[in-house]
Structure 1
């Protein structure tokens, strides 16, 4: 027996505990239910008596609402900083910049001044901007710097760990540029909360304590004479204990007093360069002097009557998300239902083709010709889709990047912001792997990134996230490495609708894709959309992983019968921090229950 119940009716009976079932495969059509506007979509959840205990959520978390502003960020203290800035009269950019500096203190695994990131901004009038402050390869970097004499990748993973793993940091320059162009409060006001947190200390959450304890051996290996992130008695950290970072506070105060000069010049720069010399790193003063964040044209594409605004290269996220949505738009995902075999199949097949294109065509547009327009053309995508069949899985070994005429062949953190005027910011920043290169700058107390691994250190060899790279992403001095970060803002009928983003390496793209569809097609609230279990496919390796419980046995059976390699994993996928604008203008924050992520509104 199988029935459909509208979400509102279901809520009145069982609250937010939904039971999900696979629906019968429906052959694809190019028509969707055009009589129902997305803004009026109540959504439907398919369910049956197949599994009385099944739930689509990793856990259930209450939504957070606000009329005057909303922050969704990785750490509760950082989210509170953002809201406090809004209450002082700051705008979304002020809140975003203050929160990023706070994250450098309270979330050392990914928050940073030694890394970089991307920012998408939509102002209250609907004009959009994107800022690229991705790290750059130092001038002394070279194409084969991580290969031995036999052209094999060197032992010890030098692009992951240690001083040679770091690109020139971009965070401080980028955040200063964003504030100078759009901020309202003073730079001194923006920096003070982070300085206070570093000087006075922040109480460790259970996850932060566990992360520091887990990384203790690596901290000692790459910082043998330092005691940063260590307790004086060398015992393990416990939840609630105070992490005080006096040297980081001094570094932040220099930035407060001198702006970018307080990081790229003077004492902090000298400390950074001394650290590079101590460990054989290659960043020089010339690299620091020459670093400049870059304003770029956003990727803007439509999905039905929604406008998707996302990050262009060297982020692969915007192009990839736009391609994914164009592939699945013709299909009746709402009618098929969430995580049914038909819905899941078209999503996996789209992901397979998109990640193949990513591996070949995408890189830093300042160094390679990225065929951005061609990759998003309807005829190109139709050609890529011709070998898709509903009765069997496509073999990734047979999927290559598309042919384009005229061309030669995680640890990250995300935050979303909206202020009372409707200005919105989506910002994703990263050190790459958790705690970056594990190198702490002596005397300045901040971690350096390991972003050099995001280059293709050898064509065809996967990076730490299993992503295959090629010539477009080869190492070149001063080049920005390709990224999966996908900070995104969505409009509906010309009005702000969603602010989306997540950390997660290669899973960033697919997580943003799924959360968007959870709201746009499956009628979920933002918190439900964030909490819903997720899956991931990235072309190679040719397998789909999903969070435990994400599919019914019936759906898994059908998928496997068609040849899909699909397996559960105990690790979670992504950590979304998102905002949804409700019809009455109220902001709903959706902060991921998978970690310490927290939404705060007022």
Structure 2
């Protein structure tokens, strides 16, 4: 119950937001190291931003107990798995981007993996045709080997301060003592829970009657699992009775049983990956490399925009958002063609980020007209790739954490679709991550980069990102949820802070123009929707619709850490003193996709 009390206290202590900072300086050469040589002073309290106040309370509790940013991130993730089970949890995976105070930047790939027996026609039916996405999601075949816990263990081994078991305490209390259902959760279950198995439905609909908003939910099976993992460590999830229970759940699923084996779980490992970084104006932007497509695509969008004076145009300029849309289209086209799991396909990372190549792509963008056609480029030395676009859905969450020492963490974690595969084991929801693979393995005579293969990790849009100022100090850590919109959300947030001089909070709240291909969507209920006539004059063909967006950030501004959380979500940002960033919620279309 203490976590619930702390969450209430954080909300009650809300303060006014920090004023917008000055506009950025003109582009200048940057030092090459992406490190923070000057840690935050001890007088600057640590900060946690996440999509639920109870999860923020868990992270703040760990910071107050002397934990590091990594410790707080783990505790926040575990709590999110309890109170936001439709989006994340131990049944899914994650990407970590971490900056050690005065030290190195590192990234961790804890993405789910296909069973070794999986083949390129995994999502084909008995008739030899590809399954539709909805059919493929439900049941065992879509479940990848979960990586979230292995990622936490790897992160804790190098960045943790408190004992492993201590980090589980807030989540265990929530699962045991109960947590209240929000209106958004109840609505999302009604809209998107038709595929979940009876055991999972019973947690939220005991006796067959859905619980109303405000009702208290307890999950004793999940609490017991968390207690075992706290005492026995991450290995007990991958080998032994709990691992076998997971394998049984997916291989005996009533729909689409899986070929996963105990060996698939036992052999799973989180992996350190090389971050991807580019200079952008007087800043440096770093993110997650493949199998995430998010980091590379965000960087391509920004670098293609760098030759335009966005600061002069301003956030209210239709031309600025037209340029953003055009750059997005080019970057998404390259993303779809070239990016996959680098352990299985050649991903031309250096070629895609080559300044000359990006300049050639940027040259295709006109401030006065919209491109008639959009196609992937051909960076020198890149292998030929052809895609078959997968369907991605927004069952994801993200969090950002900074501690007093200046360690900074951005993590995005997911079970892919809302309520994942619809399967449960030990009170957790299992992912449907394998539907992030491209269904069709061959196109126009070429193997598709993101085709299904045994042991392979599907391409992801997740894009936890850290932004550094000209002195190499962390300026911003940001992440988002929302399927392929994640990439555009992060690029928008960085553009808001760097080019428009906004706070992280205002940059997150700013409306989105989402254009991954021809046409696009202007986010309903925001200033972007009102811009449609001006965009049309530039040749843009965009519709107005709600978007399922959800972002969280921490930033270093005014000599302290300040948080930002998406007003579209239930998220908050809180620090060790009880300060909570004031977030004005705006009305959201009830038909908008759930987070």
Q: TM-score, normalised by structure 1?
A: 0.84
* Post-superposition offset of 1:572: 3.3
Corresponding residue to 2:232 among 249, 258, 269:
258
Say if 2:270 is the partner of 1:296: no
Corresponding residue to 1:415 among 395, 399, 409:
399
Give the paired residue count: 530
Structure 1 moving runs of 4+ over 6 Å: 35-38
Corresponding residue to 1:242 among 183, 203, 216:
216
2: CA distance, partners of 1:277 / 1:150: 22
* Post-superposition offset of 1:152: 2.8
- Asked if the contact 1:502/1:577 (under 8 Å) is kept, the reply is yes
* Post-superposition offset of 1:72: 0.3
Say if 2:79 is the partner of 1:102: yes
Residue equivalent to 2:540: 564
Residue equivalent to 1:508: 486
Residue equivalent to 1:485: 462
Say if 2:552 is the partner of 1:574: no
Residue equivalent to 1:27: none
Corresponding residue to 1:432 among 392, 406, 416:
416
2: CA distance, partners of 1:542 / 1:439: 36
2: CA distance, partners of 1:225 / 1:91: 36
Higher Rg of the two aligned structures = 1
CA 157–204 in structure 1, closer or farther in 2 if over 3 Å, else same: closer
1: CA distance, partners of 2:527 / 2:64: 39
List aligned pairs for 1:117-156, cutoff 5 A.
Answer: 117-148=94-125, 151-155=128-132
List aligned pairs for 1:33-432, cutoff 5 A.
Answer: 34=26, 67-148=44-125, 151-155=128-132, 157-219=134-196, 223-224=197-198, 227-279=201-253, 280-396=257-373, 398-405=374-381, 407-409=383-385, 410-432=394-416
2: CA distance, partners of 1:34 / 1:389: 22
**Secondary structure in 2 matching 1:68:** coil
- Structure 1 gaps, min length 5: 1-14, 19-31, 39-65, 462-468
Q: TM-score, normalised by structure 2?
A: 0.85
**Secondary structure in 1 matching 2:534:** helix
- Asked if the contact 2:49/2:401 (under 8 Å) is kept, the reply is yes
CA 232–294 in structure 1, closer or farther in 2 if over 3 Å, else same: same
- Asked if the contact 1:158/1:165 (under 8 Å) is kept, the reply is no
CA 217–316 in structure 1, closer or farther in 2 if over 3 Å, else same: closer
Question: Mean Cα displacement is larger for which, 78-87 or 380-389?
Answer: 380-389
* Post-superposition offset of 1:207: 1.6
1: CA distance, partners of 2:400 / 2:304: 26
1: CA distance, partners of 2:296 / 2:160: 28
Q: State the Cα RMSD in Å.
A: 2.4
* Post-superposition offset of 1:404: 3.2
* Post-superposition offset of 1:562: 3.1
2: CA distance, partners of 1:550 / 1:527: 16
- Asked if the contact 1:228/1:445 (under 8 Å) is kept, the reply is no
Question: Mean Cα displacement is larger for which, 385-394 or 587-596?
Answer: 385-394
* Post-superposition offset of 1:37: 12
Residues 418-457 of structure 1, C-alpha deviation per residue, up to 9 Å, x if partnerless? 001110000000000111111112xx11111001111111
